[in-house]
Each structure stands twice: as structure tokens, then as C-alpha cells.
Structure 1
Amino acid sequence: MSFLRTCILTLFISSCINYYSLATSIAPDSFADLVTKVSPSVVNISTTQKATHKAGQNGFLFPHGSPFEEFNELFERFGIIPGWEPEDTERFISSLGSGFIIDPKGYIVTNQHVIADADEITVILNDESKYKAEIIGSDPKTDLAVIKIKSDKIFPFLKFANSEEAKVGDWIIAIGNPFGLGGSVTAGIISAKARDIQAGNFDEFIQTDAAINKGNSGGPMIDINGNVIGINTAIYSPSGGNVGISFAIPSSFASPIIEQIKKTGKVKRGWIGVIVHPVTEEIADSLGLKEARGAIVTEVQAGSPAETHGIKPGDVLLKFNGKQIASSRNLPRMVAGLSIGSSANIELFRDGKLKTINIKVDEVPGEAEVKKQERANNSASSVLDLLGIEVAELTLELKQQLKIDPRQPGVIITKVIKGSKASRNNLMRRDIILQANQKSVTSPAKLEEILSQVIKSKRNSILLMILRNNQKFYVGINIGEK
């Protein structure tokens, strides 16, 4: 009888646990209690930036044929030259965003692009109280920043949860400052995880269908328990409004970076010194790999940990610290996440055999080395001078400003030299180069690489796919002509 009671009790407890698990996965009748709990820790951020408007053309000139054209002459009679600013004027540009408090001392997490170039930052809390804030530090590569309220008060704060444990289909809420309307709450589910939207080497976003709009940037994505699992960062929208596809930086990725910024004001990343490319089906087949996965090493940088520990060009890196390297884009994230001086195991494929190497992670090279690398990627090289353009990386912030799909790779033209081949073929500043000779252009260095290949092959022309005003078209440029 005692045994029977034990079995019945066990089944009852098991049923209760299963019921509880199911209940927590079903949408609650209301999010009101959750919102009440977390809202005091979510802030609206208002920034002000000084901008000097140079003397000269100011754009205020009625065009020829306008019914108001006669007013141009009227202004001239009073000594006012239409369309002309007599002297430099100082103006103030304001922008809005969101953030959330992570520490009782008033440390706030937001996006880097929310506070970039700000001369003054004002934080508005849920109770409408306002405080000035200062920038502690930021990380443009991940679009993360930490600011601090200038006050000795104790503030309510939110905690990070492990986003790795969140599942597709889980309910979330997002709180922010869309279009400057103030604290607004929206709810949805996790639509996907580990989304790579081509925003940089470190993007691995959580996708949601919650109604996130401009101004929500920097606000928290909160799980059903009231903890932060993501920082809202980007929306996919042809119109600039919400279409049910938004992205957040996962807390498991962001948390260590935020902690570094909070402590030191900057971020130090792990580095092993390899340049890698994707392993295609053809590469895998030629090397005898059973499947196309991992990252093939194309270059080992001199003096790097990779060189010291014997990694060679042609090696296919398959695992890093026991984790599969699904693609070449995964490796920088894996390495960057390790602390400087720590060791890591790399499983690689070389000459038909698997090999394991233990490597010590170093710090990303200093400013001089970074500038050297930037020069290598700089579009002002002699090769790109051939076209007469300068280009820059198409960052996530630029994609948002230009209303471009955040997953779209490409480079943006920042300068077209007058009389150059590009100018003669009607290329314009702010044009986006998507492809060159039908190859995707993912960086200025990639464009230079493709152009160099064309020159070496002794072909006279290059075919560019251009995006302008959301319209794609091809431009063929004769690089052989003078």
C-alpha cells in the first residue's frame, strides 16, 4: 500500500511540474504585472549635439518657375541674398532612444548609435524625473554603450538572463521610446535565434515579431520572468516602420562586453591572427572533407598566436573549444569572447587528417597595427583610385538611416572624384555597391580584391551592381581606358 501511495504521489508531482512548464510557455492573460515590475528600470534617452552650419548656401531659394519666385527679388531689395547664409551659425540636433538601468548606482545600457557624438545626454525615467548622464564607454563593433546617471540616488535595475536558454516561440516584451512617444510596451515571441544580418563580424541576433520601431533602439527585450535577454537594436523595414521583423543583441553575447565597458570604458577582444573564408562544397570535396563546414585559413598574420602555434594557410578549422565552427563568420565571435591570455583548443583538418592545437589567445593588435590593417582595407588604395571613388563599410547604423535591409552586404560610396571613370559612368556619392563582377561585396577590402583580380586577368571592364533609392541596376566600367 505504501508503495502504491508513493507511485501516486510521484505521478502527481510530475504532472504538476509538467503543467507548470506548459503554463509558463502559454501567453499570460495580461503582461500588466510584469510591466509594472520592470518599467521603473527602463529609461528614455534624449541627446543633443552641436552642429555648425557653415556660411554659404543654405538651400532657401525659391526655384525657377515657382509661384513664389518673385520673393527672391524682394529679399534682395532688403539686402538678403536668397539661398545664402552670411555667417557660420550654431545649431542643435536632437535624437531619441531607449535604455535600461543595470546597476543601483545608475549605470545604463543602450546602443552606441543612440549616444554617438552627443554633447549632452538627458535620461527620463518612468516617473518623468529627468537626469543628466555621462558616457562611460562604447563599442561601435557591437553597437553597445554604457552611460551613467549623474546622481547619488539608488535606482531600480534589471538583471540579465542567459539568452542561450531562451527558445524560439518564447514570449517576450519590449519597452522603449518609439518615435519619441515615451515609454511604450509591446509584446511578441522569439521568431528566430542566431540571425546573421551581415551587420559585422559579431552579429548573431535574436529575431522577434514584437512591434519595435525607431526610438526603441537600446531598450530591453525582457523574458516572462522579468529579466533581460536582449538589447533591441535593428528593424527590417522597407518603409521605416514596423513590419514584424526586429532584432536584438543576445544578453549572453552582450553581457561580458557591457561588463568590460562598465569597468574600463573600453573593450578588449581575443585574437589569434588568422584570416578565414567559407568552406564551399567544392573546397570540401577537393580536400576530402565529408561536408562543407568550418573555416579555411587563407592567411596567418606574422607574429600572431596562430603562427606561433603552427596554424597554416589551407588548414580547415572545424572546432573551437569543443564547439563546431558552423561557418567562417562564427570564428571571430568565438575568439573575441575569450579573455586575453586564456587558452583554447582548435580542431583542424590538414592533409586528410584531424589535428588538435592548443593556442593562447592574445589581444587584438594596438592602434598602430589597427591603422595598418585599416590602410590595407582603405578604399583610397591605388587600385580603387583607378575607378575614382572612395568607399566605406556599410554599417548597421547606415543601413537603418538609408532604410536598407540590415542583412544586405555592400559598401557605400563616400566620394566620387570629378572626371573619374566612376563619375563618367554616373556613379554618385551614397550609392551602394552590392556586387562586383557578380561577386558579393562585403567590405572595401573585398571590392579591392575583386578589382585586383580583374586587372590581373587583363580584362578591360568590371560590372558593378548598384543600389540607389532602393532601386538596383548594373553599371559596366571600362577600367582599361584613360
Structure 2
Amino acid sequence: MKKIFSLVLVSALGGAITLGAYKLFLEPENKVQITTADSNPAFLPASNVNNLFKNAEDAPDFTIAAENAVNAVVHVKNVSISSGQMTFEDFFFGRSPQRTQMGTGSGVIINADGYIITNNHVINNSDQLSVTLNNNKTYEAEIVGTDPKTDIALLKIDAEEELPYVTFADSDQARIGEWVLAVGNPFNLTSTVTAGIISAKARDLSGKSTQSFIQTDAAVNPGNSGGALVNTNGELIGINTAISSQTGSYIGYSFAVPSNIARRVIEDIMEYGNVQNGILGISGGALNSEVSEELGVNDTEGIYVASVVEDSGAEKAGIKEGDIIKEIDQIKVSKFSDLTGHIGARRVNDVVELKISRDGEIKNVKVTLTRNETLTLPLVGRVKNAKKEDLKPLKADNGIKIIELNKEYEAYWKKNGVEEGSIITSINDVKIHSVEDAQQAIKNRSSYEPLRIELINTKGEKERYNFR
């Protein structure tokens, strides 16, 4: 035992001597460099906050909003019957095989009487529609009206009791960074709630400045379409409509029709039976440094007015080509979808106030929205309803007026004597009296059928064109 103790003691003593020798003779000298105040060090702003919420009570509480929204969001089932593949036996016996297809989505109850708002694509081509509430009761649903342009549809069910519903919020007041909840029925599950923030507003996915979505990072998957996007008060600020995905499932961003647009659409359907779209009556685009330099203007923000539609509210209010729209109803506009989104929540004869810049001078102009009487025809360009004074000089009994030729085919048309002011009288052998007639004629044309246009040019000459 004494021998072991002696060995341990000698080992410890040897290690201490070795460490001391290293420190004294071998370790390099570390010099401390002192920076004085005269050295002008660079200071960068920093934060020592390492928690999103300091206390648990600072975190947003979604429970009440979720509870209210879940009870007002429904499951929508769409059953459609289409022609199946015909077999030899079917052909022999003269049978027409049918195939049943089922689609699902979500909907939002908007009043106690059973009116439900959803997406048009959820109920499109349906033969049978049913709605299942959060209490598992199922009802047959009827379509009150639809608007494919905004992808909004209104349904109605007859329930035995008053139903829970959500109230509309003002989507114009929704702010980027605000917490939101997405409520729907993805993957045929019962109502599901996901949370996120508003990532952006006035998003246009079409590239044609015709859409104005609220973008959010709340998870939205197939089956969520037609569901509710609500704020932390449980108020409706949007109808979930689309996702940005390469796989068909959620990967980061989803898009909702703003509640102001959805509300205006369903109010029009309930009051008029169709949607009363009001237009400002201008065409143009958003400014940036490159566009401003090309146009020779100093502003780099706003909407540049490239043209004004004849007889529109904008023309009557004195809006001119070259004007730059900076605001609409005190809301700043930096892209065209800002403008179309705000107009989309208004209807015919509503008055909006524009702040415009003209030759560097700021003006406030009130514009009364008018009914859309224009249409962009394939290959031709923009047309509008013709007035008697447009038809009479050309001795036309009916027709629509060309107001702007398609840029790609403009040289072809002018080479053949067709200019702005020419009157289109027939499309595919259908007499045309209005842009609605023209739109229907284009819609009814089959994909393999050529486009046949009869018109009277500005010289009063009747001509016929066929396009394949």
C-alpha cells in the first residue's frame, strides 16, 4: 500500500514540475493589444433579444378565433358524372357508359340562414353537391351563383337551426406581417387550422394584372380551396384559393381572394343575380426605374396611364394619357394589381378618388366607375359596344367597334385597310350586337373550328377573315 502511494505522489510531482517548466521557458508570450478611443472602431446595431416573445402572455392567442372559424367552415363534396370509355360491348348494345368523379373542397358559412361562400373551381361541373358541417350533419346544397373571373361561388343549404357563421373584415386594412389562420378540410379530414402571417398583398398570378390575391405562409393543401383565411379576431379576410407548388402540395406560399372582393361578388349575386363589374377605364402599367427612363418620366412609383377608354369614367373625369396614378382612396398604388384589387371590391356607379401626377403637379380626381363594355378579342385587339353614331356612318345595323388593334397583327390589319373604328358585325356566323355576344361566340367556338370574322372597315367596305 505504501509503495502504491509513493508511486502516485512521485507521478503527481513529476507532472507539476513538467507543467511549470513549460509555462516558464517554452510557452509563447501573448501580447494584449489595446485599442484606444482614437482608433474609431466600427459599431453595428445589434439586439440581445433571443426570444420572439418575451413572455407567454405576449404570444398571440389563436384559440378563440380558431374555435369560431372551425364551426363556420364546411366540407364541400362535388359529384360529377361524365362519359366513360366506350367498350365494344357498349357500342354493340348502344349503351353510353358513365363515370362518376368526386371532388372535395371547403366553404365558409357567411350567415345564419345557410349561405356559403366557396371557390368556383370547387363546385364547377357538379351534378350533385353536398355540404358537411363541423357537427357532421350533411345537407344537399344548391348553387345560387358563380363568378369564374374571381373564382367565387355562392351556395345555399336549408338547415333546421341557425348556423354559426363568420363576419367579414375589411381586407384593405389587413397588413403585411399580420397573423392569420387558414381553416379548411385538406385531405378529406375534418376542419383543420394552420397559422401564418400575411406575406404580401395584391399578388397577381396571371401576369395580366387581373388578379389581386392576399399571399400568406399559412399551410394550405388540396381540399383547403374555398376555406377561410381569418385574422386573430376570427373575422374573414380572404377565401383560400390557390397554392404555389411544383408538387401539388403546400411548399411555402398560398393565396386567398380578399374578403372585400369576395363580399362584393356575393352581394351582387344575391341582389342582381350576376356580378356588376365596375371599371376605371384605363390601360397602362406600373413604373420602375427602367420603365420610367424609357417613357421619359421622373416618377418611379405609380401606375402610368397608357390609354383611356372612350366613354369610360376615367375619360369623363378628365384622366389623360401620361397621367400617373399615385393613390386610390388614400391607398398607395405601386403595381397594377393594387389598382385592380381595389376596383374589384367596388361596383358600377361607385365613386373612387384618385391622386394623380400630371407634369409634376399633383391632382385629386373623383372617378365614377362604369360598366365594362370592352373586350379583348383574339388576334383582333380591344373592342367595345358600338353606339348609333359609330354604326350610322358605316351603314351598319349591328356590331362592336374596334378601339385598339392587336400589336402583333396591327401591320396585317392596317395593310388590309382595317383600323380603329372598324365595326365587327359577325363572329363565326353569329350576329354580334354587344361585347357579351362576342364573348359568347368565342366561348362556343370549338378548338378545331377556325375563327371567322365579318366586319365593315372605316371605308364602309364589308370584309371577311378566316383564322386557323
Q: TM-score range by the shorter chain?
A: 0.5 to 0.7
SS at structure 1 position matched to 2:226: coil
1:52 corresponds to which letter in structure 2?
S
Pairwise mapping of residues 5-404 of structure 1 onto structure 2 (< 5 A)? 26-28=59-61, 34-53=65-84, 87-151=95-159, 153-198=161-206, 201-285=209-293, 289-351=297-359, 353-365=361-373, 373=375, 376-378=376-378
Q: Are 1:449 and 2:407 counterparts?
A: yes
Instruction: State the Cα distance separating 1:21 from its structure 2 match.
Output: 12
Counterpart of 1:70 in structure 2 is: none
Q: Tell whether the 8 Å contact from 1:287 to 1:352 is kept in structure 2 after alignment.
A: no
Residue 476 of structure 1 corresponds to none
Distance between the aligned counterparts of 1:199 and 1:286, measured in 2? Answer: 21
Q: 1:24 to 1:451 in 2, by over 3 A?
A: farther
Q: Tell me, which stretches of 5 or more residues in structure 1 are unaligned?
A: 1-19, 61-78, 383-445, 457-482
Inter-CA distance 258–22: structure 2 relative to 1 (3 Å threshold): farther
* Cα distance in structure 2, aligned partners of 1:125 and 1:264: 28
Q: Confirm or deny: 8 A CA contact 1:288 1:352 kept in the other structure.
A: no
What SS does the aligned partner of 1:246 have?
A: strand
Shift in Å, 1:98: 0.2
CA distance in structure 2 between the aligned counterparts of 1:90 and 1:454, rounded to whole angstroms: 47
In 2: Cα distance, 1:178 partner to 1:255 partner? 24
- How far is the alpha carbon of 1:136 from its aligned partner? 1.4
Give the structure-2-normalised TM-score: 0.63
Decide whether the 8 Å contact of 1:141 with 1:200 is kept in 2.
Answer: no
1:219 Cα offset (Å): 0.6
Quote how far apart the aligned CAs of 1:45 are.
0.2
Give 1:184 deviation, angstroms: 2.6
1:232, distance to aligned residue in structure 2 (A): 1.0
CA distance in 1, matches of 2:174, 2:327: 24
SS of the residue corresponding to residue 407 of structure 2 reads helix
Secondary structure, aligned partner of 2:161: coil
Amino acid at match of 1:49: S
Alignment: residue pair count: 343
Distance 1:200 1:138 in 2: 22
What is the one-letter code of the residue matched to 1:240? G
CA distance in 2, matches of 1:22, 1:342: 47
C-alpha distance in 2 between matches for 1:210 and 1:191? 9
**Residue segments in structure 2 that go unaligned for 5+ positions in a row:** 1-52, 382-403, 415-468
Say which SS state the counterpart of residue 196 (structure 2) adopts: strand
Return the offset for 1:86: 6.0
Cα distance in 1 between the residues matched to 2:288 and 2:177: 32
Deviation at 1:178, TM superposition (A): 1.1
Q: Residue 281 and residue 261 in structure 1: after superposition, are their counterparts in 2 closer, same or farther (change >3 A)?
A: same
How far is the alpha carbon of 1:130 from its aligned partner?
0.7
Residue identity opposite 2:407 in structure 1? E
Q: Give how far 1:139 is off.
A: 1.7
Distance between the aligned counterparts of 2:65 and 2:341, measured in 1? Answer: 33
**How large is the Cα RMSD of the aligned pairs?**
3.7
**Per-residue deviation, residues 126-154 of structure 1 (Å, max 9, x unmatched):** 12111011111122221111111034531
Instruction: Name the aligned partner's letter for residue 95 of structure 1.
Output: G
Structure 1 residues 36 and 281, CA gap change in structure 2 (3 angstroms): closer
Deviations 1:148-169 (A, max 9, x none): 1034531111112333444444
**How many angstroms apart in 2 are the aligned matches of 1:287 and 1:209?**
37
The residue correspondences of 1:398-437 to structure 2 (distance < 5 A) are none
Q: Deviations over 1:49-70 (max 9, x none)?
A: 23234xxx65x8xxxxxxxxxx
The alpha-carbon deviation at position 262 of structure 1 amounts to: 3.3
Determine if contact 2:76/2:130 at 8 Å carries over to the other structure: yes
CA distance in 1, matches of 2:129, 2:217: 30
Residue 295 of structure 1 deviates from its aligned partner by 2.3
| Corresponding residue SS for 1:358 | strand
Cα distance change of structure 1 residues 23 and 140 upon mapping to structure 2, 3 Å threshold: farther
CA distance in structure 2 between the partners assigned to 1:229 and 1:309 by the alignment: 32
**Contact conserved, 1:319 with 1:346, CA < 8 A, in 2?**
yes
Match of 2:434 in 1: none
Q: Give the counterpart letter for 1:96 in structure 2.
A: T
Does the 8 A contact of 1:43 with 1:183 survive in 2?
yes
* Counterpart Cα distance in 2 of 1:173 and 1:87: 50
Question: In the aligned structure 2, how far is the partner of 1:171 from the partner of 1:341?
Answer: 35
Q: Deviations over 1:191-232 (max 9, x none)?
A: 333433336645333333322111100011233322222211
Q: Tell me, what secondary structure is at the counterpart of 2:106?
A: strand
* Deviation sequence 1:401-438 (CA, Å, 0-9, x none): xxxxxxxxxxxxxxxxxxxxxxxxxxxxxxxxxxxxxx
Q: Which amino acid aligns with 1:128?
A: N
The 3 A distance-change label for structure 1 pair 162 and 301 is closer
Using the alignment, how far apart are the partners of 1:199 and 1:288 within structure 2? Answer: 25
